[in-house]
Chains A and B, each alone.
Chain A
Amino acid sequence: MTVTPAPLAAPLIELRGIGVRYQGASTEALRGIDLTVGHGELVTLAGPVGSGKSTLLSVVGLMLRPTTGSYLLNGIDTARLGDRERASLRCRQIGSVFQRPALLPARSVLENVMLPVLYAGLARQRRTIAALEALDRVGMARVAHVAARELAAGEQQLVAIARAIVTEPSLLVCDDPTADLDDAAATKIVSLIVGLRLDGRTLLVATKDQLAAAYSSRTVAIGAGPPEPSGPIGTKTTVPTSGAWP
């Protein structure tokens, strides 16, 4: 059965009572998270180290199944999705940018960016075109044939963003993409993220970068204070977490 996408008025992300307990852990990494993100929003997640931001992004990015709670993505109950459907959504609907660029160091920049479209079933020529367009979008087309390990950290993160957007996903989850970068590189990444929002994408970004927070629709603080419902755009929302990290 093909699920009919929810109307645009409906939120893209709806988290209700999300909790995560890693296998073997005594405490929960996340507990009772409620969060709603609408289409086209840029929401930043803030919180101390170990507060569960990365875990929450893993849940939203369909890389991790929550232990409790429900997660509706564009109206689709993700708990009902099998591995095949989750992989399809990770490939086509969700782009992920990690704290570390996580590139295949010995492969070329182009090959790295082509990785998601490899599984999207596109022919090689179309894959190459899509990857070059994505690289052009982040300003890295000139190094398409350079091995990823030869790039600076900031450049690698730009390539990672190109990889995340190569399948034109509607949702981009970014886990502290400016963490290990100098100010100039971080500013470039932030401006790129803001630009991606202007393209109509929804972004959920965990970051300590004040500039990114300033451009966001709202900032959600993780791991501080009692649970509160998601607020309107431009407001600060606090959601609780146990703070445990595996």
Chain B
Amino acid sequence: MRRQRVGQPTRLRPGDAIGEALAAIVARPVPALLTSIGTVFGVAWFVTALGLSSTADGQVAVTFARRLATQVTVRQLRPGPQPAAYPYPPDVERRLEALHGVVAAGVSWRVRRAQLVTVATARRPADGRAARAPVIAASHGFLSAAGVRVRRGRAFGAWAQAHAAPVCLIGSVVASALGISALRGQPTVLIGDQRCAVIGIVGRAIRRPALRRAVLLPLSSAAAIWGPPDPRAGEKPTVLIQTRPGAAPTVGREAPYAISPARPGQFGVVVPVRPQKLRDQVAATLTGLFRTLGWVGLGIGALSIGSITWLAVRERGAEYGLRRAVGARRRHILAHVISESAILGLIGGLAGASFGVALTIVLAYYRHWVPVIAPLTVLPAPLAGAAAAILASLLPATRAARIQPTVVLHGPRMP
């Protein structure tokens, strides 16, 4: 059967479709708000999840860089011209700190001949509790390189080092075991039969957490009390170098030359393997998790829009019937429903992206993280909201387009 053409077909300009959608939204703000709430939450969740993903990725990188890739240890492997007991030049710290990328460097060894630490006071030297703790001879530079934070008192400095002062720092765990909580009574500890004044309590040691369970003395003090380190007893002085992030491999190559330009081969250097693969795996897992959550949120938002639009189409059946009765074609009704949903999705997307960014910043603030929000995540979010709304409205729009003009006669009244 040949179709007849009757004049020009009816048409709906894109601008008019958008104008009608805006007018419908303004005319019925409450249903419009309810429809866009789904997008607001969906996009907010989406942006928050992606923002947390980027933030967590950055945090993983920072954590790995801080904990593993910023320290280098050097120890003697083969005999050299220096005595085996202390194979480093006296100015080893200054030499190392002159290297580019070095933050701090220092020497330490474990005094294996002294372990039992007994607390004592000036009045009642025998009154005390005992604790078994490692004794570490440490230079001032070592304290810096190990990231030692003194909770009470102060760290020993150049004076104590120069005068072999009988002073020590005790770790917080040791302090608890010995019942030392304050330094006002000038507590002393007995290491074996050697008396040392406690001048500080170590609260944290970022790169050597075990120091919270140790007692630390200046190198000169330990040497004066127990003599120079005995390699046969396992007392091997070790250099700890703190580097800037990413500088550890270079510093590790240069350090033996800085310590002994003539015999660099006698030193062994340990640079922690940069666990790039592990870091990438952790970051990828976190990113994948957050992104999945983000897409799930967006999907839930889209479903919300779809279901509300479905109900709205049912409620507004008489309106669509009327439009059909006065000349609208099926595609025009389709355009009306979709453009209205798209605008609501766009508005909801804008609001949701703003909420998402704010939520990411607040959550990162409370976790003490640096919020990282990629512009490519936030800027297209409103468009993602609109796209989700368009997809979700396809089914309701198709249903609306099928409404017959006669609905205006028999259907429900205009909402």
Interface residues of A (CB under 8 A from B): 1-3, 54, 58, 61, 63-64, 76-77, 80-85, 87-93, 96, 98-100, 102-107, 111, 115-116, 118-121, 124, 163, 167, 175, 246
Q: Which of A54, A90, A103 contacts B325 (CB 8 A)?
A: A90
CB interface residues, B 319-346, toward A, < 8 Å: 319, 322-330, 332
Provide the residues of chain B in CB contact with A89, threshold 8 Å.
6-7
User: Known: A104-B414, A111-B23, A119-B11. Contact between A63 and B4, CB under 8 A?
Assistant: no
Q: Which of A1, A54, A61, A90 contacts B5 (CB 8 A)?
A: A1
Q: Which of A87, A93, A102, A246 contacts B328 (CB 8 A)?
A: A87
Distance in angstroms between the alpha carbons of A105 and B405 in the assembled complex: 18
User: Known: A88-B7, A118-B12. Contact between A80 and B1, CB under 8 A?
Assistant: yes
CB distance from B4 to the nearest CB of A (A): 5
Is B325 a contact of A84 with CB atoms below 8 Å?
A: no
User: Known: A63-B406, A106-B28, A119-B11. Contact between A88 and B327, CB under 8 A?
Assistant: yes
Distance in angstroms between the alpha carbons of A163 and B4 in the assembled complex: 27
Provide the residues of chain A in CB contact with B406, threshold 8 Å.
58, 63-64
Provide the residues of chain B in CB contact with A88, threshold 8 Å.
6-10, 327
CB interface residues, B 1-26, toward A, < 8 Å: 1-13, 16, 20, 23
Q: Which of B11, B318, B325, B330 contacts A96 (CB 8 A)?
A: B325
Is B4 a contact of A1 with CB atoms below 8 Å?
A: yes
Distance in angstroms between the alpha carbons of A115 and B320 in the assembled complex: 12
Distance in angstroms between the alpha carbons of A85 and B5 in the assembled complex: 6
Give 7 new A-B contacts, CB below 8 A, not counting A102-B408, A104-B27. Answer: A58-B409, A76-B4, A80-B4, A84-B9, A88-B6, A107-B27, A120-B327
Is B7 a contact of A119 with CB atoms below 8 Å?
A: no
23 A-B residue pairs with Cβ-Cβ distance under 8 Å, sorted by A, are A1-B2, A2-B7, A3-B4, A61-B325, A63-B324, A63-B405, A64-B405, A80-B2, A82-B3, A85-B3, A85-B9, A87-B10, A90-B324, A90-B326, A91-B326, A91-B327, A93-B6, A104-B322, A104-B414, A116-B326, A118-B20, A120-B10, A121-B11
Distance in angstroms between the alpha carbons of A111 and B27 in the assembled complex: 11
B184: Cβ under 8 A from any A Cβ:
no
CB distance from A88 to the nearest CB of B (A): 5
B368: Cβ under 8 A from any A Cβ:
no
Q: Which 10 A-B pairs have the closest CB atoms?
A: A91-B327, A106-B27, A63-B405, A119-B327, A119-B10, A116-B326, A121-B11, A85-B6, A87-B329, A84-B9
Provide the residues of chain A in CB contact with B330, threshold 8 Å.
83
Q: Which of A119, A121, A246 contacts B326 (CB 8 A)?
A: A119
Nearest A-chain residue to B7, judged by Cβ: A88
Provide the residues of chain A in CB contact with B232, threshold 8 Å.
none
Q: Which of A64, A84, A121 contacts B404 (CB 8 A)?
A: A64
CB distance from B217 to the nearest CB of A (A): 84
Distance in angstroms between the alpha carbons of A91 and B327 in the assembled complex: 4
Is A87 a contact of B9 with CB atoms below 8 Å?
A: yes
B129: Cβ under 8 A from any A Cβ:
no
Is A85 a contact of B325 with CB atoms below 8 Å?
A: no
Provide the residues of chain A in CB contact with B408, threshold 8 Å.
98, 102
Provide the residues of chain B in CB contact with A82, threshold 8 Å.
3
Is A102 a contact of B318 with CB atoms below 8 Å?
A: yes
Distance in angstroms between the alpha carbons of A116 and B327 in the assembled complex: 6
B410: Cβ under 8 A from any A Cβ:
yes
Q: Which of B4, B28, B410 contacts A81 (CB 8 A)?
A: B4
Provide the residues of chain B in CB contact with A98, threshold 8 Å.
408-409
Distance in angstroms between the alpha carbons of A163 and B408 in the assembled complex: 14
Provide the residues of chain B in CB contact with A106, threshold 8 Å.
27-28
Provide the residues of chain B in CB contact with A107, threshold 8 Å.
23, 27
Nearest B-chain residue to A246, judged by Cβ: B410
User: Known: A1-B4, A1-B5. Contact between A63 and B414, CB under 8 A?
Assistant: no
Provide the residues of chain B in CB contact with A90, threshold 8 Å.
324-327, 405
Nearest B-chain residue to A58, judged by Cβ: B406
CB distance from A91 to the nearest CB of B (A): 3
B263: Cβ under 8 A from any A Cβ:
no
Distance in angstroms between the alpha carbons of A118 and B323 in the assembled complex: 10
CB distance from B19 to the nearest CB of A (A): 8
